[in-house]
Amino acid sequence: MMHSEISRRKFLKSALALSAASVIPSFWIPAKANTMPKNPFVSANDRVNIAFIGIGNRGGEIAKELYNTGLCNVVALCDVDMGAKHTQEIISMFPKVPRFQDFRQMFDQMADKIDAVTVGVPDHSHFPITIEAMAHGKHVYVEKPMARTFNEIEVMMRAAKKYGVVTQMGNQGHSEANYFQFKAWKEAGIIKDVTAITAHMNSPRRWHGWNPNIKHMPMGEPVPETMDWDTWLGVCQYHAYNHDYHLGQWRCWYDFGMGALGDWGAHILDTAHEFLDLGLPTEVNPLYLKDHNPFFYPMSSTLLFRFPERGNMPAVDVTWYDGLDNIPAVPEGYGVSEIDPNIPTVAGGKIQPAKLNPGKEIYSKTLTFKGGSHGSTLSIIPEEKAKEMASKLPEVPKSPSNHYANFLLACQGKEKTRSPFEIAGPLSQVFCLGVLAQRLNRKLVFDRDTKQITNDPFANQMLVGEPPRKGWEQYYNV
């Protein structure tokens, strides 16, 4: 019997014990839940007391952006690798602020001094930290994608409603020009009757130099002296430390990250998903997976997501392309793919002018649009059509606040977040379904009403994923 079949059976047996129906029996209350305020909003004139969880690399960037709004006081720093080189910049900015390596200890000791937290950590750790924070009544800014499994996102959305806290997922383009233009054009009837969207991110990824004939996960190495490896693993089953899991490499592995789709999908498809009311797909089909293996992401992927008719809107096919050799065809009259300053460079490689920018093409029954990523706006193509439509385009309002200020102002009760869990959750679940199709290399048929995969019992159990590691079970009892 093949090893993969044994692993599959073992997983299915354990996953059945943690079915989606049994994961949410009752609400878990943390040890110091009495710290949860009756009115979770901060006084409108007070700064938000914030704790940064994850302060290196992207987590550090989030921390600086929030601090630079002038709307918050930094009251705690938390990072599993506290003391490592990549955490020093934030530590030096706030040298007198209490530091923790384990977020659970931070809440045990300081929950009554914290109004809100950021979660700028690897994808697999978003879930337990966010649940812990919300159960203490704390507002949460969590990086995209919301979590690593479909069911974790389901639990997070329920918890946000239960605890009544402010939530924001960190797809920052959702507070920039792209958001307001798409909204205005949709409301004015410029964007209507969309039938297809092509989305693409063809820049180099960290795993593109790896050997896809891998037979097992990497061998263990000594844990860095500065690191709390057990807390880094969180809910995931145990893996011995290896440098290829750390400092962004976690994104490469199915066990920890969400690949190119989870990383960039939320920056490319967010506005189309919200304003076209796409919700969850009925089918996800992996059309092309180059160098597929059970451990890390394919070198190139083409995924077809099918969304049904919604109200008076027609069905939509969304096709996702990633990989250096997997660049989609563009429509006639597309023009050039300008290097847009609103799109950040890619970790692990720079955007190449000879190729397509990360972005999308949107096809409706009457018009075709091209767009980029993050805050980039859409344009009508070809250029002749754009000139003809120019006088009919509505005025697009400017953003009243960037994504970080929007979160803090919402904590003060002054604004509503633009990417709360009820909006960001279904978007992130689309990516979870896409990653599942990548991982299993087979078509998934999905029932939007029951939120179950109907053509594959094993894939359906993977919506929940492996049972949590011992000592981390309580986060699923929400």
* Assigned fold of 15-174+404-431+465-476: Rossmann fold (3.40.50)
Interatomic CA distance for residues 175 and 172, integer angstroms: 6
Which residue do the tokens 């109907």 mark?
454
DSSP one-letter string for 187-224: HTTSS-SEEEEEEEE-S--GGGGS-TT--SSPPP-PPP
DSSP one-letter string for 123-146: HHHHHHHHHHHHHTT-EEEEPSSS
Q: Residue 229 pairs with which residues in a beta bridge?
A: none
Residues comprising the chain, all counted = 478
- CA torsion through residues 20, 23, 26, 30, sign: negative
Percent of the chain surpassing pLDDT 70: 87
pTM greater than the 0.85 cutoff:
yes
Interatomic CA distance for residues 365 and 375, integer angstroms: 25
Please tell me the predicted confidence (pLDDT) of residue 158. 96
Output the CA–CA distances (angstroms, integers) from residue 182 to 90, 318, 360, 376, in the order listed: 35, 17, 13, 10
Q: Which of 192-206, 335-349, 464-478 ranks highest by mean pLDDT? A: 192-206
Residue 88 burial by Cβ neighbours in a 10 Å radius (0-12, 13-18, 19+): middle
Higher pLDDT, 349 or 174: 174
Is the CB of residue 417 less than 8 Å from the CB of residue 141? no
Instruction: Tell me the pLDDT band of 478, cut-offs 50, 70 and 90.
Output: confident
Q: Quick one: which of 470, 348, 428 has its CA closest to 148?
A: 428
- Comparing 1-15, 30-44, 73-87, 303-317, the range with the smallest average pLDDT is 1-15
pLDDT in tens, 22-34: 343 344 566 555 4
- Tell me the chain's radius of gyration from C-alpha atoms: 22
Which residue do the tokens 């990383």 mark?
263
pLDDT in tens, 276-305: 999 999 999 999 999 999 999 999 999 999
Q: Quick one: which of 69, 13, 22 has its CA closest to 401?
A: 69
Please tell me the predicted confidence (pLDDT) of residue 39. 59
Output the CA–CA distances (angstroms, integers) from residue 331 to 198, 235, 272, 335, 360, in the order listed: 10, 45, 19, 9, 11
Instruction: Tell me the pLDDT band of 336, cut-offs 50, 70 and 90.
Output: confident
Q: Quick one: which of 138, 71, 84, 83 has its CA closest to 106?
A: 138
Please tell me the predicted confidence (pLDDT) of residue 13. 47
Lookup: tokens for 134: 């919300």
Q: What is the mean pLDDT of the chain?
A: 91
Interatomic CA distance for residues 248 and 243, integer angstroms: 10
Interatomic CA distance for residues 54 and 415, integer angstroms: 26
Interatomic CA distance for residues 33 and 67, integer angstroms: 27
Within a 10 A sphere around the Cβ of 153, how many other Cβ atoms?
A: 25
Lookup: tokens for 141: 């800014």
Interatomic CA distance for residues 149 and 131, integer angstroms: 14
Mean pLDDT of 445-459: 98
Please tell me the predicted confidence (pLDDT) of residue 282. 98
DSSP state of 337: -
Mean pLDDT of 194-210: 96
Which residue do the tokens 């065809």 mark?
329
pLDDT in tens, 44-103: 668 999 999 999 999 999 999 999 999 999 999 999 999 899 999 999 999 999 999 999
pLDDT in tens, 350-360: 444 447 889 99
Q: Residue 462 pairs with which residues in a beta bridge?
A: none
- Preceding omega of 145 cis (within 30 degrees of 0): yes
Is the CB of residue 111 less than 8 Å from the CB of residue 136? yes
Please tell me the predicted confidence (pLDDT) of residue 30. 66
Q: Is 409 left (phi over 0), alpha (psi -120 to 50) or beta?
A: alpha
Query: What are the residue boundaries of the structural domains of the chain, listed by start?
Result: 15-174+404-431+465-476
Which residue do the tokens 């089909």 mark?
285
Lookup: tokens for 433: 């379904």
